[in-house]
Amino acid sequence: MLNLERLRTLDALARHGSVSGAAEGLHITTSAVSQQMSKLEREVGQRLLAKNGRGVRLTDAGRLLAEHAARILSQVALAQSDLEAQRGQVVGELRISAFPTAARGLFPAALSALVAEHPALRVRSCELEPELGIAGVVRGDLDLAVVLDWYNKPMPLPDGLVKASVLDDPADVAMPVGHRLADRDEVDLAEFAGDEWITWGQGEFCHEWLMFTLRSKGIEPIVGHRAAETHTQLGLVAAGLGVCIAPLLGRNPMPEGVVTVPLKQRVRRHVYVVWRADADRRPSIRAAVEALREAAADLS
């Protein structure tokens, strides 16, 4: 009989690609991963791992069993979801991530309300950029991830995920109070062709969106500064170092010396939550989605 926890370890190794990655994903030590794999190899009577430089790789037998393990674990998750649904109680542990402005703008109200209404539910949260949150849900490290895409650039989602809308978040341009356009009722992106932009990190989805959007209007962006956090970006704007896109969610309180002006294009980003389809019937998932939507409604 194959041991479920050892199959879970093998699955984590296959998904993370390393012993250290599997250990981090499973919240155990690297030696525990090695011990579980040694026991699993004895159970099946075949080598599942082979040395690969300083690391390891799955053998043919290891990859074959890992494919079965993924299906078995998905079926177990579905069974757990169905049992929770039949019981109808919001219990257990819920692991959820959100990108920074959503974590700041939604989590305090949503998670406190969720815990107050369902005291038997343990909620664990963390900040992660959308791509990392989605990857965590796919791997099974997270139950839910609050992510985003933009009105003109959707975020690609892997198969096997379910999503629900949380809110549409309007975005303005933030600029120093002395900027030439600061007293306008609305502005066009083309008017910032000569300005330095304060943007997100290289390769981040929001940064790629801004570059895509400006270039689609014939503007080659001048990137002066990069910062992951909205409040850091706004602090740089207040210092007169450039302009930035400032979504409404999570941007308050605004620093002194900064003005936000709406765009004629009415730029919005779509904020939504994703989870695995095999967990779709879990009452805790449904309760968390409802709590996030209620917190978002209170912002409007």
Question: Could you read off the pLDDT of 201-248 as tens digits, one per residue?
Answer: 888 889 999 999 999 988 899 999 999 888 999 999 999 999 999 999
Distance in angstroms (rounded) separating the CA atoms of residues 137 and 144: 6
Query: 0.75 cut: is pTM over it?
Result: no
CA 139 from centroid of its chain's CA atoms? 13
Mean pLDDT of the chain: 90
Report the alpha-carbon distance of residue 67 to residue 120 in Å, rounded: 34
> What's the pLDDT at 196?
96
Task: For residue 44, give the H/E element and its range.
Answer: helix 30-44
Give me the pLDDT at residue 240, please: 96
CA-to-CA distance for 103 and 231, rounded, in angstroms?
13
Nearest to 147 by CA among 111, 101, 109: 101
- Asked if 278 and 77 count as a contact pair (C-beta separation under 8 A), the reply is yes
Antiparallel, parallel or unpaired: β 92-98 and 121-127: parallel
Average of per-residue pLDDT across 106-118: 95
What's the pLDDT tens digit per position in 38-64? 999 999 999 999 888 878 889 999 899
Q: What distance, in Å, lies between the first and last C-alpha atoms of the chain?
A: 55
Residue 203 Cα distances to 127, 131, 208, 210, 251, angstroms: 18, 11, 6, 11, 22
Q: Do 278 and 78 touch, CB atoms closer than 8 A?
A: yes
